[in-house]
A = this chain, B = another copy of it.
Amino acid sequence: MVDVIMVGTVALDTVRTPFGLAEETLGGSAVYASVAASLFASVGLVGVVGKDFPQKHVDFLRAKGVDMAGLETLDGETFRWKGYYEYDMNQAHTQDTQLNVLSRFDPVLPPEYRDCKYVFLANTDPEIQMRVYEQINKPKLVMMDTMNFWIESKKEALSRMIEKVDVMLTNDAEARQFFDTPSLVKAGKAFLEMGPKAVIIKKGEHGALMFTEDQCFSAPAYPLEKLTDPTGAGDSFAGGFIGWLARTDDISPRNMRKAVIFGSTIASYNAEAFSLDKLKTISRDDVFNRYMRFQDIASF
């Protein structure tokens, strides 16, 4: 049985940043999260692709130890996202989204995934997240992500889903939007009141905030010299975070702080190159080394 399952998108991305253009590269929330988590734990990916999805990407994920039993292939084309970043790379600008097979995605978990203890429901339609959630038996920790699109179009279904999960993951703009407040602290506490035991607000290159019952953790940014493409940083963060928790099987607030830093560490690597080009090359030792450098950079 795998330690963690990642439910989300598998995509072919076309991304332009001030540093270049990457066309039809491997992407998607489930892919970034799976590869990040595979540095710490055994991972199963749940997603859908079209018949056009290159076999080399499947081979790459398998080579990373990602179990692909939950990858469905449907007639039609793979989900595609096209976007660009300007100099302030905290903001992605979407040019085109082609849902393709994703619009028919109705995930059925492989039976051996249903007892998995750690589950990440990456950003997708909250009704689909709920259908996956209902297939899981007694997980130890379920984490979800979302985006502005669902806050605007399906806030009720999204709220029902938030009530169920253990960890709510969001970015700063989404947190402000959900509760119509400029204060991330107020938004964090309001999410906690909905049910989650922990709320993590990602702030792009500026670090993250985590709120638990009686604690707040302000994680600093890892200062990155070579920022090339932030696509997938949030999902790499999520994968590193839940991968560390699954590896240690310890969901105490203290260990969750470490998990936030591991998530940030892996996300920082991810942003150094397009697509998964950097994530592909790093080892667990690299992650531990940068974690230690992170401690040095943040201590006072």
Question: Which chain A residues have a beta carbon within 8 Å of chain B's beta carbons?
Answer: 18, 87-89, 176, 182-186, 188, 203, 206-207, 209, 216-227, 257-258, 260-261, 295, 297-300
Contact = CB atoms under 8 A, between A and B. Distances in A.
* Most B Cβ at <10 Å: residue of A206, A219, A258: A206
A220 B182 contact: no
Copy tally for this chain in the complex stands at: 2
Contacts of A218: 207, 220-223, 297-298
A299 B257 CA distance: 8
A226 B297 contact: no
In the A-B complex, the 7 residue pairs with the closest CB atoms: A206-B206, A218-B220, A185-B225, A220-B220, A257-B300, A87-B182, A185-B223
A37 B84 CA distance: 43
B207 A206 contact: yes
* Most B Cβ at <10 Å: residue of A217, A221, A261: A221
A87 B209 contact: no
A199 B235 CA distance: 32
Contacts of A217: 297-298, 300
Contacts of A87: 176, 182
